[in-house]
Amino acid sequence: MQITKRNVELRVDDSLMRVYVASPKPAGVYPGIVFYSDIYQLGSPIIRLANYLAGFGYVVAAPEIFHRLEPIGLVIEPDDLGRMRGNDNARRTAIAEYDADSRAVIDFLKAESTVNADKIGTLGFCIGGHLAFRAAFETEVKASACCYPTGIPSGKLGKGVADTIHRVKEITGEILLVLGTLDPHIPESDRQILIKAIEDAKVPHKVVLYEAEHTFMRDDGYRYDSAATTSAWAEIVEFLGRVFAD
C-alpha cells in the first residue's frame, strides 16, 4: 500500500510539538497509531519504520519526544555524544510532560477524518517502548506494541521516578512485548518483573523473544539484526491486525 507523508504541529504546554504523520494513500478510514522513537528522535531509521507500518493500513503519528528541549526537526546523531544528549533530554523531561504529549497525539488521531477513533494503538522503541506501554493507560488505546522498552521496572524514564510498573492494572487493551535476550538494558530479571506484572494484572499479552541485542530493529547500527527484525514485524503486524479486526 502506498503512503502519504506530512508534518503537523501540536501545541502541548505552550511548546510546539512536531508530529510526523504517515498515512495510507488510498481513501478510507484506518486505525491510528501513536508511534514513539528512541532517544535519537525522528531520524531516517525511525522514519523508515513509521513508513513501513503505515503501508499496512495505519495512520502513524510520530511525535518529537524532546520538543520542549530541542529545536523543531532536530535529529540526534546515534553516536557517543548523541547518546549523552538523548539521555540527558530524557532525564530533563517530566513524566507528566510525556503523558501530556501522549494525550495530545491520541486526541489528534481521534480528530482525523481518516482515523477510526475506536481503533487507537501505540508502538515504540527503547524509551519509546516505555512510552508506548505507558500510553496504554489511556482508555482509547486497544493495542500497544512495545519493542525493547527500557526502564519500566526501575521507573527510569524522565525527571523523577515513573510509576509505570505500579499502574499495569489500568491497561484495558492488549500488550505485545518484543525483547532481545542479549539486551543489557533489559536483563532477564527486568523481563521477568515486567511479564509477571502484566500476568498479575490479567492484561491480554504476548511476549516474543529474540537472541538479539538492544535496538536490533534500527537498521543503521551495529546491533541491527535483519532476521529478527523481519520476524518482529510479522508479529507486530499480526498483533495489530488481530486486535483491530472488524
Q: Output DSSP code: residue 157.
A: S
Which DSSP string corresponds to 10-75? EEETTEEEEEEEEEESSSS-EEEEEEE--TT-S-HHHHHHHHHHHTTT-EEEEE-TTTTTS-TT--
Would you say 241 and 119 are in contact if contact means Cβ atoms under 8 Å apart? no
Is residue 67 part of the annotated active site? The answer reads no
- Whether 101 is a known active-site residue: answer no
The residues of the chain scoring below 70 in pLDDT are none
- pLDDT digit string (tens) for 195-205? 999 999 999 99
All three cell numbers of 183: 539486551
Of the options 3.40.50.300, 3.40.50.970, 3.40.50.1820, 3.40.50.1000, the CATH number for the domain spanning 3-244:
3.40.50.1820
Indicate if 214 belongs to the active site: yes
Q: What is the pLDDT of residue 59?
A: 98
pLDDT of residue 98: 98
Helices (H), 34-180: 44-54, 80-92, 95-111, 127-135
- pLDDT digits 0-9 by tens, 31-65: 999 999 999 999 999 999 999 999 999 999 999 99
Q: Is residue 242 helix, strand or coil?
A: helix
Active-site entry in 126, 146, 147, 205: 126
Q: What pLDDT sits at residue 64?
A: 98
Catalytically annotated residue among 183, 190, 205, 225: 183
Residue 116 confidence (pLDDT): 98
Catalytic residue among 67, 130, 205, 214: 214
Three-class DSSP category at 166 = helix
